[in-house]
C-alpha cells in the first residue's frame, strides 16, 4: 500500500508543501539521504505555548501537522513518498510554557504518524524534543531526515 493510501486510511491528507519564507528550499537530498526543512503546523492551528495557550492534545496535533508538512516538502522534491526506505531522525522544538516538561509526548504526534505510515522499525526515528519559550509563536517546529531506497 502506498504511503498516500495509508494517509487516507488514517483519515489524513498530505497538504500542499508550504512555500519557503526565506532563502531556502523545502527539502534537499544527496545520494540516498533526504532532509526536510523545519516545518510548523498548519496555518489554521492555534499559536502559542503548549501548557498555556495549547493543551497537550493540541500540541500533539500540531506536531502531527508539522510532520505532514515535512512529508509534503519531501514529496515535492522527491516526487513520491514511496521512495523513502526509512526514517532516520526527527528534531523537534516545542514552544513550552514555563514548567511544561512533556515535550517528548508532544513530539509523539510527529513520530506516531511516521510509525503508522512506514512501520516499526522503519518509521521510528532517533529523535530530539527540545523546549523553547517564545510567546505568540507556533507550537512546534520540526524536521525529518530519511533514507531513500536505491
Q: Provide the residue-wise pLDDT of the chain in tens; the chain has 150 residues.
A: 999 999 999 999 999 999 998 999 999 999 999 999 999 999 999 999 999 999 999 999 999 999 999 999 999 999 999 999 999 999 999 999 999 999 999 999 999 999 999 999 999 999 999 999 999 999 999 999 999 998
Q: How many CA atoms lie within 13 A of 92 on its CB side?
A: 33
Give one word for 65, left, alpha or beta, with left for phi > 0 and alpha for psi -120 to 50.
alpha
User: Which domains does the chain possess?
Assistant: 54-82+98-124 (3.30.1330.40)
Q: What are phi and psi of 85, to 5 degrees?
A: -85, -45
DSSP element (H, E) containing 113? helix 103-118
- Per-residue pLDDT of 48-83, as tens digits, reads 999 999 999 999 999 999 999 999 999 999 999 999
Amino acid at each position: 500500500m502506498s504511503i498516500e493510501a495509508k494517509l487516507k486510511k488514517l483519515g489524513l491528507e498530505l497538504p500542499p508543501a508550504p512555500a519557503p519564507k526565506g532563502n531556502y528550499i523545502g527539502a534537499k537530498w544527496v545520494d540516498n539521504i533526504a532532509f526536510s526543512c523545519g516545518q510548523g503546523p498548519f496555518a489554521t492551528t492555534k499559536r502559542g505555548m503548549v501548557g498555556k495557550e495549547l493543551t497537550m492534545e493540541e500540541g500533539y496535533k500540531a506536531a502531527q501537522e508539522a510532520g505532514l508538512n515535512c512529508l509534503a516538502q519531501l514529496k515535492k522534491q522527491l516526487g513520491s513518498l514511496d521512495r523513502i526506505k526509512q526514517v532516520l531522525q526527527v528534531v523537534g522544538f516545542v514552544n513550552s510554557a514555563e514548567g511544561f516538561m512533556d515535550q517528548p509526548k508532544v513530539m509523539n504526534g510527529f513520530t506516531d504518524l511516521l510509525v503508522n505510515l512506514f512501520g516499526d522499525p522503519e518509521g521510528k526515528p532517533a529523535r530530539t524534543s527540545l523546549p523553547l519559550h517564545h510567546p505568540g509563536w507556533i507550537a512546534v517546529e520540526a524536521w525529518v531526515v530519511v533514507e531513500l531506497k536505491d
